[in-house]
Chains A and B, each alone.
Chain A
């Protein structure tokens, strides 16, 4: 519910785009005197796709996110787009695979990336889980990533149980490894050490943000919007825990 709470607290006014599934919240608000589009994926117990009822990014959500972002691009005013991220996972199901959920998520990533290339400042605000394919579709294409400091805010490629099964380890072994290998950890501090976040900040009530929480987060979003100085993701490079990513690029350039 965090995603919905923060969406309600930050945005105002009526739904900005018609014809979207109930699992998407899209509205425009004002930030620093300019219109800003807020987008969140939320739970929908009546979702026609049963595997996408608790906030997962599924078929309707992927294509719907694309539509919501495309609509912002079509307005032509380069309004900032804020992805409020609280997504437990992509939808895991038979219908989803059969109907090409990968293509739906590609559409979402495509739209966010095109918005960024078209000069929209795109900011992702992580208030809950930002897991795997769901995060790739909703947030990871942003110019700037901001995370709230909280044990419930986490970024990862796979849930613990599945990750343990796939790597042939126990959950305990996985946790022990994660403690010494930063990219394997689930906590936001370890994630921050990879240099991917632009900012982290603490709030007093992450589940039910206070007026002060909302003001501080709004401030931070505004700073992030003003900080955007390019249209690519190069601002994420440079951390010592992600040194190889820079090294490889440097070598490629030399040998190109």
Chain B
């Protein structure tokens, strides 16, 4: 009980508060802050109310004294979807962090991912921005860790789930979900029998944070607590780049998938056993 009471929820924080909570006290400095009103040029003309920061907060600062840039997505604005401006903010920040490293400044990056992926009102510009984000993660990752955090409650979907898969390390909580396709879209494309978007326990069992961690598709599983997330991110930043990227293990995963009997539908335990063997 005392443990529960002393916790401070990270999930309940907005994007700006999350970034502030992770950075060393007093070091938070926002770039293109909301008062500069760099908003979506596409939403208003479609009758959709914009947000002053387009749902993305870029903040520089330090974590345990290490230079860091944080990109935090606000999941409550348009489902955390990425449009042209928000996408360019993330891509541009990662590009500058990579440039820093080429100049000898060891800027690391932390991505707080609460997103449904591409914002459909800006469709192809969102998709293009996400391709830029992928490119920038792969570039920066050569020098410094890029840490992805999926805390919840929106989760991380669409093209940004690919971005999560590119991160040096991925941190999830029990409230997190991670998957390429949103449940509704799978149901729409493949039918109710394939995927029942209203069956929440079923969806969580396959795509929830705990399952992703237990099947080796995430690196750390932490409680929804500011202090624990802060400690976890700090430790990963200090660890430096990983010996082996998850997204560079094609031989391993192809071999595992070749062992699988793909004809029946599979459950969570099958995935854990297939990818983790004895460990699960």
Task: Note whether A and B contact each other (Cβ less than 8 A).
Answer: yes
- The prevalent SS among residues of A at the interface is helix
Instruction: Give the interface segment out of B19-27, B36-44, B230-238.
Output: B36-44
Query: Interface residues of A toward B: which range?
Result: 35 or more
* Assembly CA distance A15 to B254 (angstroms): 18
Q: Determine the chain A residues whose CB is within 8 A of the CB of B45 once the complex forms.
A: 180-181
Contact A99 B250 (CB under 8 A): no
The answer to whether the Cβ of B225 comes within 8 Å of any Cβ in the partner chain is no
Q: Determine the chain A residues whose CB is within 8 A of the CB of B200 once the complex forms.
A: none
B-side residues, CB < 8 A to A, are 31-32, 36, 38, 40-42, 45-46, 58, 60, 84-85, 87-89, 91-93, 95-96, 117-118, 120-132, 134-135, 138-139, 142, 158-159, 161-166, 178-182, 184-186, 188-190, 194-195, 206-207, 212, 215, 217, 245-251, 253-254, 257, 260, 262-263, 265-268, 270-271, 274
Q: Among the listed B131, B195, B265, which residue makes an inter-chain contact with A140, where contact means beta carbons less than 8 Å apart? A: B131
Contact B123 A90 (CB under 8 A): no
Q: Which of A90-144 contact B (CB under 8 A)?
A: 90, 92-107, 109-111, 113-114, 116-117, 132-133, 135-137, 140-141
Q: Determine the chain B residues whose CB is within 8 A of the CB of A136 once the complex forms.
A: 127, 130-131, 134, 159, 162
A-side residues, CB < 8 A to B, are 19, 48-49, 51, 59-60, 63-64, 66-67, 70, 89-90, 92-107, 109-111, 113-114, 116-117, 132-133, 135-137, 140-141, 155-159, 161-163, 165-167, 177, 180-185, 190-191, 194, 196, 232-233, 236, 242-245, 247-249, 251-253, 255-256
Q: Determine the chain A residues whose CB is within 8 A of the CB of B125 once the complex forms.
A: 183, 194, 242, 245
Q: Determine the chain B residues whose CB is within 8 A of the CB of A70 once the complex forms.
A: 248, 250
- The prevalent SS among residues of B at the interface is helix
Interface centre among B36, B42, B126, B165 (most CB of A within 10 A): B165
Q: Among the listed A48, A104, A157, which residue makes an inter-chain contact with B127, where contact means beta carbons less than 8 Å apart? A: A157
Nearest Cβ on chain A to B178's Cβ, whole angstroms: 7
Q: Determine the chain B residues whose CB is within 8 A of the CB of A60 once the complex forms.
A: 254, 257
Given A110-B166, A194-B125, are A104 and B194 neighbors across the interface (CB < 8 Å)?
no
Nearest Cβ on chain A to B43's Cβ, whole angstroms: 10
Interface centre among A66, A155, A191 (most CB of B within 10 A): A66
Q: Among the listed A92, A94, A113, A140, which residue makes an inter-chain contact with B138, where contact means beta carbons less than 8 Å apart? A: A113
Contact B189 A97 (CB under 8 A): no
Contact B262 A49 (CB under 8 A): yes
* Assembly CA distance A97 to B246 (angstroms): 17
Q: Determine the chain B residues whose CB is within 8 A of the CB of A194 once the complex forms.
A: 124-125, 128
Closest to B157 in A: A102
Given A93-B190, A136-B162, A181-B46, are A103 and B120 neighbors across the interface (CB < 8 Å)?
no
Contact B250 A157 (CB under 8 A): no
Contact B127 A135 (CB under 8 A): yes
Contact A98 B96 (CB under 8 A): no
List 10 A-B residue pairs with CB atoms under 8 Å apart, sorted by A's residue number.
A63-B253, A90-B181, A93-B186, A99-B271, A104-B253, A111-B248, A196-B124, A236-B128, A248-B32, A252-B58
Q: Among the listed A107, A181, A242, A245, which residue makes an inter-chain contact with B249, where contact means beta carbons less than 8 Å apart? A: A107
* Assembly CA distance A194 to B131 (angstroms): 14
